[in-house]
């Protein structure tokens, strides 16, 4: 499939809300979360559109490079960023006395890092709080070099050790990274100073013991459990709450549905194209490492109560507090965006496959051919024993210039998507003509470059629910929960909360359930029993 590279910008301004820490006689530690809202009316947007837009394209990736950049209230610097309802972050203290930093609490990573006072040559450090080891009586030198790689470069620096205050808890002798270099554009306008990873040690850079591990080891929490409540009500100031040591019954209804964690470490994706603007690394072909924690098995996805059938054989999912939207395989995301009337970009390869091979694929399905082998049997893929893979097919597109462009993965992937779409319609006893028309429509609805799709704000009431099967239970999202509205009145724009991300077997298909999902469902991360739980948020 081809790399999609199209930048649609929304401009950010911040609303700073009070931060609250609290403990109570129930033994729980509560961390209040701040919330950043979007405002697309900033005058600096045009200045960033040229030089910095290209850098931003490369910087939008997993750890808030999912598009959650904020700005300092007193600098009026605003970046062109992607579609987001809100960014959630909280405050911690490092050292004695505590030096304050705002951080993203990220279940998709495992290290703690903050800017260092020794960051001399990186401009973003001028705009953020910096850790000064000389001002802490509990500082212990380490000095081992460290780097966390991102799309635009790396956060680099060195390890240090000091006490870290989270709410009223003081984690002693915590290893963390003092960042002495930060990618310029990404962190120049970021409201947060650093990141506090809540993932497993298996993906911790330098094998540093994560903050959460030390909380448990030092007996600072009642139970090895933490939970997220993300407030999606834009009218309320409180952005949400993380509870360390248990759950707050005020923030959920009913009982949690728990599923076991199936993946704790990172894994190499390999040589593939990565789609999506909010979550992903580079808009180019690369060897990448994607770091995933809190991964579990998920069942099928339903649109308006109708099963898509894509995850009949099982899909994987992760609950990720550092991702704002909800990402999944292009095949299903396209079906969802078609159902909700989202506007995408025409994929010529997809339409070509339907035109040239659509009837043949349908005939083979009707004769009960093995769906996984169909695309190899029509000559668009090879078959590796479990699925189709690209044959490296080429098509001459400019005979005069003597050039050819490889369709490669695009044709193979388009064929595999068409097979799934046709299967879905055949289950519903649709006519062959209707099925071919439907598949062509889906080609039109393929996600916009870099993943976004827009919808008509006036048609939310007529949109279907989208449901995810977890632990044998359906978790529904209503239109007002999966559509992000940016702006007010005539200037308002509505964005689909679903974006495309394709991870091949055996690690995929993979879904990333970010804030769109976690805002609807209170989420419990139980490291003692290695499970994740979801219940309706209250």
The SS3 assignment for 454 reads strand
Q: Using CA atoms, how far apart are residues 383 and 398, in angstroms rounded to an integer?
A: 30
Taken as a whole, the chain contains a residue count of 538
Q: Using CA atoms, how far apart are residues 93 and 98, in angstroms rounded to an integer?
A: 5
DSSP state of 210: P
Q: Residue 297 corresponds to which tokens in the numbers above? A: 């098995």
Q: Using CA atoms, how far apart are residues 60 and 508, in angstroms rounded to an integer?
A: 22
Q: Residue 32 corresponds to which tokens in the numbers above? A: 């209040």
> Within 67-208, where are the H helices?
184-188
- Cβ distance 468 to 511 under 8 Å? yes
Q: Which of 391, 450, 397 is nearest to 415 (CA)?
A: 391
Q: Which of 85, 193, 320, 502 is catalytic?
A: 320
Q: Is the dihedral of CA 306, 310, 311, 313 positive or negative?
A: positive
Q: Residue 367 corresponds to which tokens in the numbers above? A: 């004769």
Q: Is 68 considered catalytic here? A: no
The SS3 assignment for 424 reads helix
Q: Which of 85, 106, 193, 300 is catalytic?
A: 106
Q: Using CA atoms, how far apart are residues 327 and 158, in angstroms rounded to an integer?
A: 33
Q: Residue 456 corresponds to which tokens in the numbers above? A: 């008509």
Q: Which of 55, 53, 60 is nearest to 80 (CA)?
A: 53
Neighbours of 72 (CB within 10 A): 16
- β pairing state of 295-298 and 99-106: unpaired
Cα-atom radius of gyration of the chain, to the nearest Å? Answer: 23
- Cβ distance 199 to 527 under 8 Å? no
Across 361-434, where does the E strand assignment appear? 381-383, 388-390, 394-398, 403-406
Q: Using CA atoms, how far apart are residues 27 and 447, in angstroms rounded to an integer?
A: 46
Q: Using CA atoms, how far apart are residues 85 and 66, in angstroms rounded to an integer?
A: 12
Q: Residue 20 corresponds to which tokens in the numbers above? A: 């609250």
Q: Is 106 considered catalytic here? A: yes
The SS3 assignment for 538 reads coil
Please report, for the chain, how many H helices and E strands are present, in that order: 11, 34
Enumerate the active-site residues. 106, 320
């Amino acid at each position: 499939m081809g790399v999609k590279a199209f930048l649609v910008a929304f401009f950010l301004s911040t609303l700073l809300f009070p931060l609250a820490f609290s403990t109570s006689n129930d033994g729980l530690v509560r961390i209040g979360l701040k919330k950043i809202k979007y405002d697309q009316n900033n005058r600096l947007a045009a200045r960033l559109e040229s030089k910095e837009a290209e850098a931003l394209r490369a910087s939008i990736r997993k750890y808030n490079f999912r598009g959650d950049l904020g700005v300092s209230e007193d600098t009026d610097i605003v970046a062109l960023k992607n579609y987001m309802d809100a960014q959630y972050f909280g405050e911690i203290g490092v050292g004695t006395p505590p030096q304050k930093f705002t951080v993203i609490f990220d279940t998709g990573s495992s290290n703690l890092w903050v800017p260092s006072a020794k960051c001399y040559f990186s401009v973003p450090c001028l705009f953020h709080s910096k850790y000064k080891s000389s001002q802490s009586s509990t500082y212990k030198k380490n000095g081992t070099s460290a780097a966390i790689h991102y799309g635009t470069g790396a956060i680099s620096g060195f390890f240090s050790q000091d006490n870290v205050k989270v709410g009223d808890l003081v984690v002693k002798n915590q290893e963390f990274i003092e960042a002495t270099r930060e990618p310029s554009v990404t962190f120049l306008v970021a409201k947060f100073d650093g990141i506090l990873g809540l993932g497993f040690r298996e993906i911790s850079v330098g094998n540093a013991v994560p903050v959460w591990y030390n909380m448990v080891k030092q007996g600072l929490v009642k139970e090895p459990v933490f939970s997220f409540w993300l407030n999606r009500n834009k009218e309320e100031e409180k952005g949400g709450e993380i509870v360390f040591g248990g759950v707050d019954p005020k923030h959920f209804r009913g009982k949690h549905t728990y599923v076991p964690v199936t993946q704790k470490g990172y894994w190499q994706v390999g040589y593939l194209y990565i789609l999506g603007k909010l979550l992903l690394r580079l808009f180019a072909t690369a060897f990448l490492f994607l770091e995933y924690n809190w991964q579990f098995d998920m069942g099928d996805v339903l649109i308006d109560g109708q099963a898509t059938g894509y995850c009949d054989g099982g899909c994987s999912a992760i609950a990720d507090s550092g991702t704002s939207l909800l990402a999944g395989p292009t095949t299903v995301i396209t079906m969802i965006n078609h159902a909700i009337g989202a506007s995408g970009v025409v994929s010529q390869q997809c339409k070509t496959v339907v035109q040239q091979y659509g009837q043949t694929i349908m005939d083979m399905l009707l004769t009960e051919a093995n769906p996984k082998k169909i695309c190899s049997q029509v000559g668009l893929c090879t078959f590796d024993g479990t699925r189709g893979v690209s044959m490296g097919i080429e098509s001459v597109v400019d005979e005069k210039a003597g050039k050819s462009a490889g369709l490669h993965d695009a044709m193979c992937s388009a064929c595999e998507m068409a097979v799934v779409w046709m299967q879905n319609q055949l289950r519903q006893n649709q006519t062959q003509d209707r099925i071919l028309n439907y598949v062509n429509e889906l080609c039109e609805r393929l996600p916009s470059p870099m993943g976004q799709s827009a919808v008509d704000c006036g048609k939310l009431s007529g949109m279907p629910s989208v449901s995810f099967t977890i632990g044998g239970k359906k978790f529904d999202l209503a239109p007002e929960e999966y559509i992000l509205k940016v702006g007010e009145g005539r200037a308002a724009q509505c964005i689909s909360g679903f974006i495309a991300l394709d991870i091949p077997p055996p690690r995929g298909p993979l879904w990333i359930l970010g804030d769109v999902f976690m805002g609807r469902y209170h989420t419990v991360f139980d490291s003692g029993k290695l499970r994740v739980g979801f219940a309706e948020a209250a």
